[in-house]
Chain A
Amino acid sequence: MKEFQETLYDAISQNFRIDKMYFEQKTGHQHLMIFHNAVLGRVMTLDGVVQTTELDEFIYHEMMAHVPIFAHGNARRVLIIGGGDGGMLREVLRHSEVEHVTMVEIDAAVIDMAKKYLPNHSAGAFDDERAQIVIADGMNYVRETEDRFDVIISDSTDPIGPGEVLFTNDFYAQCKRILNEGGVMAAQNGVPFFQIDEVKNTRLRMSAHFSDQTFYSAAVPTYYGGIMTFAWGTDNAALRGTAIDELRARYQNAGFRTRYYSPEIHIASFALPQYVQDAI
């Protein structure tokens, strides 16, 4: 019987049964797999770490897309860094007031592979004419682009590995540079229960560039270890306090259904456990 055993931590690990291997690629130092698990559906792993599963991807993608976009209230232009599986693009494009999305993925092969083996993630989003796909290093892109955005979403991998630069001081500085006034960035920031240092590091680096920096959270079951955090950076301190009635109205207007996100969850997700508070 084949098994995937996660290699994030020395002393603990989660195991998934591999019921069918769809895709496996070992290029250079990278090891990518897409397989089927009876409970989780299709699972994508990179270098021994779970990236996304069909069962719980909606929690991650809804929370990373809808929290900043509904908080902003008038996002026309959105930038996604990473997100090659297309799930983030799918959620962002559900907002009809969003006129343009640039998605910057470093590896064209990831997109092709995801279209083929994880079609439910993008669900056609790559064909939307509002979407522009750029194949480039995310760091180089934010350093060089002249475009400006209302919302930036950093859908990165683990900071140990290819996503490393997306957790640097320089990256946050450049994101700030290309945000329109009042804009906001949200960034994947790991599972604080086991990786509290990542919260501390991001806090330090991001708050140097944004006057309002915090985290919000959601529990994505296959990101083992309880809640995960999303880093939040903006110069518009009012955004995180957007009132519940306002959020309800925006959600109502948006006219789509979500499975995890709700205006109430939105508000609640900014309440952090004391151990995270203490760290920041």
Chain B
Amino acid sequence: MKTRHIQYGASEAERDYYRSLVKQHGSPLLVVNRSKILQQYNTLKSYLPGVAFYYAIKAFPHPEVLHLLAEAGCHFDVASEGEIDLLKQLQVSGRRTIHTHPIKKDSHIRAALRGGSTTFVVDNIDELKKLIPYRSRTGVLLRVSFRSESATVDLSRKFGCAPGQVLELATEAQSLGVHIRGLSFHVGSQCANSDMHVSAINQCMQLIDECNQNKKNPMNMLDIGGGFPVNYVGDDIDLDTFFKPVGQALSQLSSDINIIAEPGRFLVAPAVTGIASVSGKARRGDYQWYYLDDGIYGSYSGQLFDHVIYPLQIFNTDETRTPSILAGPTCDSIDIIAEDVALPDMADGDLVIGHMMGAYTYATAATRFNSLAGANVIFVD
């Protein structure tokens, strides 16, 4: 069980900064730091040179974020027509995308092709057959399942074929006239270590070699997915320790292989800060309740869906603290951000800052519960 981290107190400059943002833009807010996103992108590039990055739009599907990354040369992982449309608005060519959803309706395939997205991910024979009508136009990555024990979010249960099925699928594809460009995997999100990435890379390398022995169209792409971790609190992730073995494993690949990755969380998580404020409070039983203007149906939805507990910060350093509950604004009882936390007395309008709130927060916040508008997304440099 992960525990909540609360930072009590803030420098005067910090306080002024957050308060002035609220004064200007209202509350609640999600504040996106552009330079932090670029910094994360550059960090990835330096750890994994030669890898082409396809930002997993789902992590924070905001046009400004896409624009920023597009300008920086990043490519995009799309999984729906809506995500393709976001790129269309920004005039990002479909050629800079791959479509990574393994399960598609025919209408999804057609919409992707119209959007110029021509590389598709597939993990079984039925899905492969859906591409037959479009085989002259498309390329395919076979998604292989490698489950990481250390991932917070397991993404190799729902999708991916077993490594043992790859050769058969590749052979089948060849006889159907569908071109397999290479392999892809996604070991899971927020992986504490890179053991599974390394092992998956090595196994894929062997599988590609094996498949290429009797194929006239050699595979030449390996997509290592996402899963690159960030430090929430207590994750204690050392980037060198995580990335060096991955880079090392990739350097063993033949130079014919194009390597791509689909980072989501790593690019955006540390770049976004949530600002909520106290709307009202009540004493109930043993607890002091504070009702905030953002919650589980809003930016804090990631606590439910993404299994993350965001580090919080309040400004009051008073050491007299009572057991408290931070609740969200909806009428639902599940809408609680933090149970049983020790808080000093707070007043209406006091701010609660949530850190590391970039990945899978805004993305899952778009509920209509109580018709609440949700946090305003603003950008700073």
Q: Which residues of A contact B (CB under 8 A)?
A: 5, 7-11, 13, 24, 26, 29, 31, 47-48, 160-161, 164, 194-197
Contacts and interface: CB of A to CB of B under 8 A. Distances in A.
A7 B138 contact: no
A23 to B, nearest CB: 13
Contacts of B307: none
A194 B136 contact: yes
A47 B137 contact: no
A11 B139 contact: yes
Given A9-B137, A196-B136, A197-B136, A26 B114 contact: no
Contact of B114 (A10, A24, A47, A197): A47
Interface stretch (B26-34, B81-89, B157-165): B81-89
Contacts of B111: 29
B227 interface: no
A8 B113 CA distance: 8
25 contacts: A7-B95, A7-B118, A9-B118, A10-B118, A10-B137, A10-B139, A10-B179, A10-B181, A11-B139, A13-B95, A24-B91, A26-B91, A29-B111, A29-B115, A31-B88, A47-B114, A47-B116, A48-B94, A160-B113, A161-B110, A161-B114, A194-B136, A194-B137, A196-B136, A197-B135
Given A7-B93, A10-B118, A48-B94, A195 B88 contact: no
B10 to A, nearest CB: 43
A197 B177 CA distance: 11
B119 interface: yes
Given A9-B136, A10-B137, A10-B139, A26 B119 contact: no
Nearest to A195: B136
A33 to B, nearest CB: 9
A9 B119 CA distance: 9
B133 A197 contact: yes
B70 to A, nearest CB: 14
A31 B115 CA distance: 9
Contacts of B133: 197
Interface of B: 81, 85, 88-89, 91, 93-95, 110-111, 113-119, 133-139, 179, 181
Given A7-B94, A7-B115, A29-B81, 20 more contacts: A5-B93, A8-B118, A9-B137, A10-B119, A10-B137, A10-B181, A13-B95, A26-B88, A26-B89, A29-B111, A29-B114, A160-B113, A160-B114, A161-B110, A161-B114, A164-B110, A194-B137, A196-B136, A197-B135, A197-B136
A164 to B, nearest CB: 8
A164 B111 CA distance: 12
A29 B85 contact: yes
A27 B147 CA distance: 41
Nearest to A48: B116
A8 B137 CA distance: 6
Given A26-B88, A47-B115, A10 B138 contact: yes
Nearest to A2: B91
B75 to A, nearest CB: 13
A72 to B, nearest CB: 33
B263 to A, nearest CB: 23
A195 to B, nearest CB: 6
Contacts of B81: 29
A195 B136 CA distance: 6
Contact of B116 (A7, A194, A196): A7
Nearest to B98: A10
A197 B133 CA distance: 7
A47 B84 CA distance: 12
Nearest to B134: A160
Contacts of A26: 88-89, 91
Contacts of B138: 10
User: Which of B91, B119, B136, B179 counts the most chain A CB atoms within 10 A?
Assistant: B136
A10 B118 CA distance: 5
B98 to A, nearest CB: 10
Nearest to B89: A26
Nearest 6 A/B pairs, CB to CB: A7-B116, A10-B118, A10-B139, A48-B116, A7-B94, A47-B114
Contacts of B114: 29, 47-48, 160-161
A7 B119 CA distance: 11
Nearest to A27: B88
Contacts of A24: 91
Contacts of A48: 93-95, 114-116
Contacts of A47: 114-116
Nearest to B132: A197
A31 B138 CA distance: 20
A26 B135 CA distance: 27
Contacts of B137: 8-10, 194-195
A247 B117 CA distance: 45
Contacts of B93: 5, 7, 48
Contacts of B95: 5, 7, 13, 48
A5 B117 CA distance: 12
Nearest to A3: B93
Contacts of B89: 26
Query: A164, A195, A197 — which one has the most chain B CB atoms within 10 A of its CB?
Result: A197
A154 B181 CA distance: 35
A240 to B, nearest CB: 27
Contacts of B119: 10
Contacts of B88: 26, 29, 31
Nearest to B94: A7
A194 B137 CA distance: 8
B52 to A, nearest CB: 15
Nearest to B139: A10
B73 to A, nearest CB: 15
